[in-house]
Amino acid sequence: MYNYYLQSNTCAEDPDTWPKDFPTLQNDTFLRAARGEETEHVPVWCMRQAGRYLPEFRESRAGKDFFDTCRSPESCCELTLQPLRRFPFDAAIIFSDILVVPQAMGMDVLMVAGKGPTFPDPLKEPEDLQRLRTAVDVEKELGYVFKAITLTRHKIEGKVPLIGFTGAPWTLMAYMIEGGGSNTYSKAKRWLYRHPEASHMLLRMLTDVIVEYLLGQVAAGAQALQVFDSHAGILGPVQFKDFSLPYLRDIARRVKDKLKETGQDVPMIVFAKDAHYALEDLSQSHYEVVGLDWTIDPRSARERTGGKVSLQGNMDPCALYSPKDRISEIVQKMVEGFGTRGYIANLGHGLYPDMDPENVGAFVEAVHQHSKLMIKQI
């Protein structure tokens, strides 16, 4: 029925005419688990499931600029679907990057081979904030992500829900000041100590864009949203409470308030990597799901969040280097630790490029197998 959208080139030429009557969702396990409802098995997906560990991903990306790929709805759609063709994941995440938001605010970001994302002209001093666009036309600057989401929602044919995402304000601020990845993030942290006012101003600007961006993703067809605060751990409890948590809360509250007006209910996931100190706070921040890295013990995470939220995570990605039977044992312990209700299995961070796709398959299968048995025994 949807072959027209899947195959016709006219679709690529005039994406604004794509309709939003999406195919019916067949597997809503992930959405039910996010809301803490009963499921037949524990749903599973992997951060960076669309990535370089897949030979077909490397082939599709070969010779193409990373951000050009992000700007092509057809390429994003294809890359998002690739892992679903191999593994019975219970959710897809749209292929894009968190750094499209600083680009939308007027900053240049390049993907340099062997180095990663690079800002040729990062923010150095508070005066540099004047270089940023204040009122960002999100539709104009990030409409290509919305188009990718709409196209992918059609092409996914209702098999599983599609997750949209954004970077959190602090994590994006860290890249915008640091100019790329860093071990210490000392340039960005210097701002927090030396320029707290300007830091809050930047975080507020980012929050405003992120709220519009997430709402645009839902309007385009995203069925869940994840906020990645990948560099939360570099902050520590005091600075996290001051410079990250209020903005994470503000994002969830504003997105949810707006969606309520139109009767929409889209689960939101917050993943603040290495912020184990903030688990209690995060479980009371208007997100349905808290994502965990592998440094947190599943049982203690349950105790500390007291049933207020669903949990997502958290196998050490490096456990995928184990033989398959060992992966199965590790998964079993993890699922037993979290329990099968209100739980979405995932890794504690993204897949690495040197991982064996077969072991990813073993991970997914183990989650389904063990959890089905456990649920039957309840």
Positions annotated as catalytic residues are 48, 52, 61, 97, 175
- 224-229 β-sheet, strand order: 92-93, 162-167, 224-229, 268-272, 289-291, 310-315, 343-347
Q: Which two tokens stand for residue 123?
A: 């923010």
The residue nearest ligand 1CP at its CB is 181
Q: Which two tokens stand for residue 110?
A: 């390049």
Q: Does 152 bind ligand 1CP (CB under 6 A)?
A: no
Binders of ligand 1CP in range 166-185 (CB under 6 A) = 181
In the three-class reduction of DSSP (H, G, I as helix; E, B as strand; rest coil), residue 226 is classed as strand
Q: Which is nearer to ligand 1CP, 53 or 340 (CB)?
A: 53
Q: Does 95 bind ligand 1CP (CB under 6 A)?
A: yes
Instruction: Supply the minimum distance, in Å, between the C-beta of residue 191 and ligand 1CP.
Output: 18
Q: Does 50 bind ligand 1CP (CB under 6 A)?
A: yes
Q: Which is nearer to ligand 1CP, 165 or 240 (CB)?
A: 165
Q: Which is nearer to ligand 1CP, 116 or 323 (CB)?
A: 116
Q: Does 357 bind ligand 1CP (CB under 6 A)?
A: no
The DSSP code sequence of 108-175 is: --EEETTTEEE-SS---SGGGGGGS-SS--HHHHHHHHHHHHHHHHHHTTTSS-EEEEEE-HHHHHHH
Binding mask 105-134 for ligand 1CP (x = CB under 6 A): -----------xx-----------------
Q: Which of 33, 34, 41, 45 is nearest to 315 (CA)?
A: 45
Q: Does 217 bind ligand 1CP (CB under 6 A)?
A: no
Instruction: Supply the minimum distance, in Å, between the C-beta of residue 344 and ligand 1CP.
Output: 14
Instruction: Supply the minimum distance, in Å, between the C-beta of residue 74 and ligand 1CP.
Output: 16
Q: Which is nearer to ligand 1CP, 185 or 370 (CB)?
A: 185
Whether the Cβ atoms of residue 33 and residue 42 lie closer than 8 Å to each other: yes
**Which residue of 30, 87, 119, 165 would you call a contact of ligand 1CP, by CB under 6 A?**
165
Q: Which is nearer to ligand 1CP, 94 or 327 (CB)?
A: 94
Options 93-101, 236-244, 293-301, 328-336: segment touching ligand 1CP (CB under 6 A): 93-101
Options 97-105, 126-134, 213-221, 328-336: segment touching ligand 1CP (CB under 6 A): 97-105
Q: Which is nearer to ligand 1CP, 98 or 132 (CB)?
A: 98
Distance, in Å, from the CA atom of 178 to the CA atom of 161, rounded to the nearest integer, reads 34
Nearest 5°: phi and psi at 343? -135, 135
Rounded alpha-carbon distances, angstroms, from residue 43 to 64, 85, 336, 345: 33, 17, 14, 6
Binding mask 7-46 for ligand 1CP (x = CB under 6 A): ----------------------------------------
Q: Does 48 bind ligand 1CP (CB under 6 A)?
A: yes
**Which residue of 66, 144, 277, 321 would you call a contact of ligand 1CP, by CB under 6 A?**
66
Options 22-30, 95-103, 135-143, 281-289: segment touching ligand 1CP (CB under 6 A): 95-103
Between CA 294 and CA 303, with CA 298 as vertex, the angle to 5 degrees is 135
Q: Which two tokens stand for residue 261?
A: 């007006």
The DSSP code sequence of 287-350 is: -SEEE--TTS-HHHHHHHHTTSSEEEEEE-GGGGGS-HHHHHHHHHHHHHHH-STTEEEEESSP
Q: How far is CA 161 from the centre of its chain?
A: 13
Q: Does 51 bind ligand 1CP (CB under 6 A)?
A: yes
Burial of 372 (0-12, 13-18, 19+ CB in 10 A): middle
Give rounded-to-5 percent helix, strand, coil for the chain: 55, 10, 35
Instruction: Supply the minimum distance, in Å, between the C-beta of residue 99 and ligand 1CP.
Output: 6
Residues forming the site for ligand 1CP (CB under 6 A): 47-52, 61, 66, 93, 95, 97-99, 116-117, 165, 181, 228, 230, 350
